[in-house]
Amino acid sequence: DAKTTQPPSMDCAEGRAANLPCNHSTISGNEYVYWYRQIHSQGPQYIIHGLKNNETNEMASLIITEDRKSSTLILPHATLRDTAVYYCIVMVLVLTNAGKSTFGDGTTLTVKP
Amino acid sequence: SQTIHQWPATLVQPVGSPLSLECTVEGTSNPNLYWYRQAAGRGLQLLFYSVGIGQISSEVPQNLSASRPQDRQFILSSKKLLLSDSGFYLCAWTGSGKNGYTFGSGTRLTVV
């Protein structure tokens, strides 16, 4: 599985957009980009995923570069509750095999009032 | 809907004592199951994963073992805990859906 690189920490003002970058230069053609976030002492929660097209859901937007070597998670209007550790991982999911991924240290996002 | 249960939430165990953490999944069949460990302030380290009953793959040699006695049950065990086994243990599953991993709420283990 390809590995990812994220900045260790970022700050964002409440109400502003938070843009979290992720590098995944060794991503394979069939690997998806997934984002999760982990609030202290809880299990990580799914945010969004994509293969090559940009994606948007009720939580966030995901922008994937054309060469797929990097992506950006966008929280359009950050709130204090968005303070968490954000993980970017890449993985392929095949029903008959266990997709298994490496979670790095993620990016600790601190939203400030 | 699919749910994942993991218990206990917290555990304090003496060095040398045994360990058994249990994880069960509901609402799906033949899930892929995982055990991860997280040290304080760090990312998730994959310990074991399983694609079916009795099928266990170990990622990191250590003092721990895993078993899958039933399709939706995954157990993490140790015969004798070490201080270095302390951490936050997370169970997760993946299946036919495209949302990737679904994690349990975790067990915080402190070995004293």
Chain A residues close to B102, C-beta within 8 Å: 46
pLDDT number for residue B95 = 80
pLDDT tens digits, A65-111:
999 999 999 999 999 999 999 999 998 766 445 567 778 889 999 99
Chain A residues close to B49, C-beta within 8 Å: 98, 100
| B54 close contact with A: CB closer than 8 A | no
| A26 close contact with B: CB closer than 8 A | no
Chain B residues close to A89, C-beta within 8 Å: 100
pLDDT tens digits, B70-97:
999 999 999 999 999 999 999 999 887 7
pLDDT number for residue B54 = 93
The whole-angstrom separation of Cα A49 and Cα A75 is 14
Q: Which of B6, B34, B43 sits opposite A100 (nearest CB)?
A: B34
Query: Does the structure show a pLDDT above 80 at A14?
Result: yes
The whole-angstrom separation of Cα B9 and Cα B92 is 15
The whole-angstrom separation of Cα B28 and Cα B3 is 9
CA-wise closest residue to B102 among B40, B26, B19: B26
CB contact under 8 A, B104 and A43: yes
Which SS3 state, helix, strand or coil, does residue B85 take?
A: helix
